Structure formats: C-alpha cells, structure tokens
Amino acid sequence: MRWTLYYHPLSSFCWKVLVALYEAEVDFEPRQVDLGDPAARAAFEAIWPLAKFPVLRDNARGKTIPESSIIIDYLARHEPSAVSLVPSDPDLAMQTRLIDRLIDCYIHLPFQQVVAERLRPQGQHDAFGVEQSRSRIRSGYNLIAPMFTGPWAMGDTFTLADCAALPALFYADYTIPLADWPELAAYLGRLKARPSVARVLAEAEPFFHYFPLKDG
C-alpha cells in the first residue's frame, strides 16, 4: 500500500489529516502508536525522531512527511483524489493556507496550552498563562469568522482550511463556547454532519474519557 499514517485517534492534529484522507477517499494503512509503550515509541522515533503525530509515509516515493498542514498539502500534490483540498488558483491557495495557519496558531495551539495547564502538577499552575490562551482563542474566533465565504471556509469547496477547523473548533468549544459566535457554531454543526468528519469523531469517541475536555 502506498500510504501509511502513524497516528492516534485522540490526537487533534491527527484528526485534521484523517478528515483529509477520508474526504478524498484515500486508501491508507493506519498505524496507531501508543507513545506510552517504550517499544512502540522507539519504533516511531525511527520513523520520525520527534515522535509527534501525525506522520505520513509515502512508500511509493520513499518519503516521510510530518506536520498536519504539510501532509495535506503533500496529498493534494501527489494524490489525484485529494487535489481539491488546496485550490489550484495561487491566490485561493494562499488564502486557504492562511486560514489553516490562523486556526492552528490562534485556536488549536492555545487550546492545547489550556489542556496542558490542567495536567500540570499541583503547585505548578499558571493562571495568567491560561487566561492568555483563552484570550487568543477568542481573538481567533473573531479573526476567522468573517473570513468564511460560504458553507465551508473557502466557499463551496471543502479544503485544507476545513480540515484544520474541525479539531480546533470541536475542542475549543469546550473551553470558550461558540454560543457568542453563532456563525461558527453553525459551521461546526455542518462540519460534524459531513461524512468524513463524522467518521473521525466516531473513531475517536471510545477515547474521549482519557481527555480533560471540560472545565471545572
């Protein structure tokens, strides 16, 4: 098989790539990695020394591709069924990548920082840092909401930007609810109803109890 994906179904950045793969109906071998298992971690580090998800292996070209945005960009260039994930028009492609970066930097990563704070040992919490992350998420919502031009982030076509939006909005909604951003709440509802997204969420659901989703 040409494609192998190293991932974990609870990893939010893995969701981003899984949505792209399912959306394009790409046939791939999923390799779920347990980083808590020393042997599994060592084997994964041999593939990608940082041992961070997701990582895609293109067996036909002998290439290892890390980082979710780069993976989807690579798929759009090398897998015919995935070409629409990044528009062919250079200006639209740039806008797609911009939205992807804004979502990751101002919603997805700040949310992960909030989660990391919840996992800190007693006496090592950073309330100021958490509030900064919450503020970035709110700014991220305000920034991307006016950019969406139709049912999907780039209009009528489902793209890399939508793949990025799903995990970011799904998880951040538990920390900064989307109720005050009704257009984003409606958009998240459309995302959840899309078959590729619904499949990712269904596969992750058995693992949700491991994740500190809600405040308090």
* pLDDT digits 0-9 by tens, 137-149: 999 999 999 998 8
Q: What is the pLDDT of residues 112-130, one digit of tens each?
A: 777 656 655 566 555 666 7
Report residue 216's pLDDT band, with 50, 70 and 90 as the boundaries: very low
Region 8-19 average pLDDT: 95
Q: Measured between alpha carbons, how far is 145 from 196 in angstroms, rounded to an integer?
A: 22
Measured CA to CA in angstroms, residue 151 lies from 9, 95, 184, 189, 191 at distances of: 26, 16, 11, 11, 9
Better pLDDT: 111 or 79:
79
Region 171-196 average pLDDT: 95
Instruction: Evaluate the omega torsion of the peptide bond into residue 195 and state whether it is cis, within 30 degrees of 0.
Output: no
Q: Residue 131: what pLDDT?
A: 79
Measured CA to CA in angstroms, residue 81 lies from 19, 72, 76, 176 at distances of: 13, 12, 8, 35
List the Cα angle 205/66/112 in 5-degree steps: 50
- For the chain, first and last CA: distance in Å? 45
Q: Is the pLDDT of residue 215 over 50?
A: no
Of 152, 20, 136, the closest CA to residue 73 belongs to 20
Q: Is the pLDDT of residue 134 over 60?
A: yes
The torsion angles phi and psi of 202, rounded to 5 degrees, stand at -65, -40
Q: Measured between alpha carbons, how far is 156 from 49 in angstroms, rounded to an integer?
A: 39
Task: Give domain 3-83's CATH architecture.
Answer: 3-Layer(aba) Sandwich (3.40)
User: Where are the domain boundaries for CATH 1.20.1050.10 in the chain?
Assistant: 90-195
Report residue 37's pLDDT band, with 50, 70 and 90 as the boundaries: very high
Q: Is the pLDDT of residue 12 over 80?
A: yes
Predicted structure pTM score:
0.92
Q: pLDDT > 70: what percent of the chain?
A: 90
CATH classification number, 90-195, choose in 1.10.10.10, 3.20.10.10, 3.30.230.20, 1.20.1050.10: 1.20.1050.10
Q: Is the pLDDT of residue 165 over 60?
A: yes
Could you tell me the two tokens for 20? 């792209």
Measured CA to CA in angstroms, residue 131 lies from 119, 135, 176 at distances of: 16, 6, 11
User: Where are the domain boundaries for CATH 3.40.30.10 in the chain?
Assistant: 3-83
Q: Is the pLDDT of residue 213 over 60?
A: no
- Ramachandran assignment for 155, one of left (phi > 0), alpha (psi -120 to 50 degrees), beta (any other): left
